[in-house]
Structure 1
């Protein structure tokens, strides 16, 4: 018997709006009500755009709601066109349809640069893939197995004690029954595998079983790599939300160096932030920025750090004023 997932009420409300829109044009008072809901909280807009992406991906509104979840299936032929305007959701260009492939080894879900995708799974769970992420989903009667092949993903797990939900990333295995957690292979930030628990409890261990599982509670992070094993850290609620800001198409920095931030933006855009001065690259920043606007980010940090911006095609250079007209190009990658 399948369990049910503890869903995010904001995502559920967004799904209901998309389903209502698909049934027919909204009345003027409904449009006003929807727009008030969108304006009430920045998270509402992100959830609404994600819901549009999920509907377009599956071709069925019932894939959006918690009450009527269906397996994520490959749609044959042209996808149905929605009757409502897509302008609002299209402004979040980070949200896209991704790629789905099926083989005997499982279902593969992939996002390319600039894409974020929420995929409902057959058991009522869901996985949200960050830009440039890839997962393999393989379910058996005894286990629900996910392999994170690259990037970062958030897992909202339906409760089923008889059928563990196991995410493997390199030589790290994360086992959950019903919870919400993310797993990241983002080397630039984590230098290994990072597990971040938003709700519930997970066990973190080596995939081989050579090390006894480490219990990880909500608002905790595990950092696993071969040099130091599994290290546990406490994460504040606000910090946790910032870590998962990518779900809303945002990037959050809290004391990160400018070089690290520039590399993060490159995961979402072909516009490259270039730095040729190590002292500039080591400057630390704090803030929340739109992931698909590296130029806006560059201009903002230039203003706050006393730097100058020089855009040359897809390259955006950040330099101190006395170096602004002297170029010794060196890519961040």
Structure 2
């Protein structure tokens, strides 16, 4: 996918996993302190163990690729070397598999002892990237472009803080353990439902429910951003059911005036609902929106700056379906279907103008 920038935290995890893999592949066994350090590192995040598993699988594949790439004149030498390479790859895979098994046993033991499944993780996507994450309770969250969430699971609640961007949640039922999403100045509570939450740059929050029901509340944090702080004042605003959308305004929009009710709650037909969450299927769908609004939405998935030569160009109403992150497809459509001219001022700067000379 174009315009994907690796998230710095992901790169750090990859580097650490590679370093551990090199250490595991060495002739000398891990020391007691190294074993404790590795166990602590893998428990810190599910992403650590997954990255280690991926590196081990890749390491084994690379051994195979190396053998396949040996010139014919070296075939005899390769025949001698192959058993050792394959043996080391199998040994490494076995070590990682054993490590995963030990950790899995540890997790299972905690369940048998009645311990809560706790998790406190940060997940993020870069511009143009989408990512699906399965949470400890089997709930699933899909992160849209340039999105960041913090997951905080405890025995009595399941909390998600949407720090930026947009996410779509498919929630596993557990009436005794509320699932709550905090975004901007609001909170969305759900049980056995599916919905999306979009934290816009100005601070307002769009909520779209596609299944079940959610309850919405506004929060006054008195200058603090910790959702579970005792200083948080909550005001219940109402509920949304499948097919409904609403926006929780930001404090800037309300002038710090307390919100008492969702006065913008509205019903959306199935086609409109599908358009709002079409990004989860890898496409963006428009039906008569101004080109300026279309470009603003598509620009969320790209680092390309797009400007119009004239306000009248941005006011042109367009419709169509565009692949997520494929800005070039939109440019082609603007030229071939709408008769506009697209001029590349640089690799990251584009001017859209009327096709009339």
TM score, norm. by length of structure 2: 0.60
In structure 1, the partner of 2:306 is 273
SS in 1 for 2:273: helix
- The CA deviation at 1:250 is 1.2
8 Å Cα contact 1:307/1:321 also seen in 2 = yes
Instruction: Provide the secondary structure at the position in 2 that maps to 1:253.
Output: strand
Aligned pair count?
233
Deviation at 1:79, TM superposition (A): 5.6
**How many angstroms apart in 2 are the aligned matches of 1:302 and 1:185?**
32
Q: How does 1:247-266 map to 2 (within 5 A)?
A: 247-266=280-299
- Which of 316, 319, 322 is residue 350 of structure 2 equivalent to? 316
Paired residues of 2:298 and 2:325 also in contact (CA < 8 A): yes
Equivalent of residue 221 in structure 1, options 245, 248, 255: 245
| Whole-Å separation in 2 of the counterparts to 1:202 and 1:310 | 45
Which residue of the partner structure matches residue 119 of structure 1?
A: 133
Q: What pairs with 1:125-274 in structure 2 (closer than 5 Å)?
A: 125-187=139-201, 192-208=204-220, 209-226=233-250, 227=253, 229=259, 230=262, 231-274=264-307
Q: TM-score, normalised by structure 1?
A: 0.64
Q: Indicate if the aligned counterparts of 2:120 and 2:152 stay in contact, CA closer than 8 A.
A: yes
Q: Distance in 2 between matches of 1:196 and 1:79?
A: 40
Q: Secondary structure in 1 aligned to 2:280?
A: helix
Distance of aligned partners of 1:273 and 1:79 in 2 relative to their CA distance in 1, 3 Å threshold: farther
Q: Distance in 1 between matches of 2:56 and 2:277?
A: 30
Matched, 1:296 2:329: yes
Structure 1 residue runs of 5 or longer lacking an equivalent are 1-56, 60-70, 84-103, 324-333
Task: Map Cα deviations across residues 51-102 of structure 1 (whole Å, 9 max, x no partner).
Answer: xxxxxx9x9xxxxxxxxxxx9442354263497xxxxxxxxxxxxxxxxxxx
- List alignment gaps of at least 5 residues for structure 2: 1-13, 18-44, 62-117, 221-232
Larger Rg: 2
Structure-2 separation of matches of 1:312 and 1:73: 40
RMSD in angstroms over aligned alpha carbons? 2.6
Q: CA deviation at 1:262?
A: 1.6
